[in-house]
Structure 1
Amino acid sequence: MEATSRPPSLAGLRRTYQGLPLLEADLAPDPVSQFAVWFGEAVDAGLPEPNAMVVATSSAGGRPTARTVLLKDYDEDGFVFYTNYESRKGRDLTENPRAGLLFPWHAIRRQVRVEGAVVRLPREESDAYFRSRPYGSRIGAWASRQSAVVHSREELDARYAELAERWPEDPPVPDFWGGFRVVPAEVEFWQGQLDRMHDRLRYRRSGASWVVERLAP
């Protein structure tokens, strides 16, 4: 009789979280300034790719999906990433221009969540960033019809080689590629604590200012 494989047990994955208290009095006056503090601490802690974030979108019909992308810029106007506008997330954001972001900084027992409306970057900003990318990434943006079915790896590689031969130095900017900015309406900072009594402080936009609220863990 064949032995049946068992899924790995989750019992050994229990964790105890403990970090410095996250108190309202310690917060910056706005969420982007607070994000800058925590992002700097994530970098200083040596986290691999601290700018990696999960982007959650939903189609017009309410079908959700999520994936990891890299944050490329942030300021008081919002959080910026780039993609193929014809990809799954690009289509979702055209149909339903709202998104959620999650920065999962597990090693330092922190998370940051962002929710808000999404706008496309002006064309000149996307073009400038595209031209700053490594040559191979620029060719790759042309070669990959992101989220479309590809019949084989060989097909993808052949497409890349064809385009590299066509543009050996300076590929143009694709009109189907560019940036999105998530304009925050809510930003939550999560700090792990003992006994699941985590600190959760949320900035919520209220007119031109921000309200800070503590959420139950």
Structure 2
Amino acid sequence: MEFTEVIRRRRMVRHFTDQPLAPEVVDRILASALRAPSAGFSQGYAFLSLTYAEDRARFWDVAAPWVVEAWPTTRDAPLIVVPLAHKQAYLDRYAEPDKGWQDKAEARWPVPYWYIDTGMAALLLLLSAIDEGLGGFFFGIRPEQMAQFRAEYGVPDEYTPIGAILIGYRAEEQPVEGSAKTRRRRGTDEVIHHGHWGRFKPSQG
């Protein structure tokens, strides 16, 4: 699929069929996340992949019962991926000789790149799913469910889930839902500033 078409088709899908995914498709989608950029090549991300039915069933019970209540067919998605950010990997990497921040102070970071990079990896998963002819849905794991999720899957405390991604075949003839139904997509002439904040048209020169 052409890259521009992948981008055009990207949207959150909340209705899935229970059609299974071929193992090689799952492998390709998961491998795509490893191509995400990372500050200092820290690669401070990890991914919990749930493909077995019993593992996915436990996920809904401990991590996101509200999602299934709102959209029952989300339970049918054959792949759940939880991207996890590892802050310490970044603090350790930038204390190495070629970086030199020996105190490992988090305050040195202008923004938390461990979340940014893991978010980029999550987007690669979503785009790769579309390239495979599939749909994807990203949502958060609520704070009150985080401890139970960690305990159920043995996720170490130093890894922070940034959300969860469902991947599978999209159920046909489903209406547009969520905020996309009630809010329009802003255009480039509203969000891109040319040369100076507030200049929404390129200068003639």
On whether the aligned pair clears a TM of 0.5, the verdict is no
The two structures have a TM-score, normalised by structure 1, of 0.31
Higher normalized contact order (CA 8 Å, seq sep 6+, divided by chain length): 2
Larger Rg: 1
User: Going by fraction, where is helix more abundant, 1 or 2?
Assistant: 2
User: Going by fraction, where is strand more abundant, 1 or 2?
Assistant: 1
The two structures have a TM-score, normalised by structure 2, of 0.33
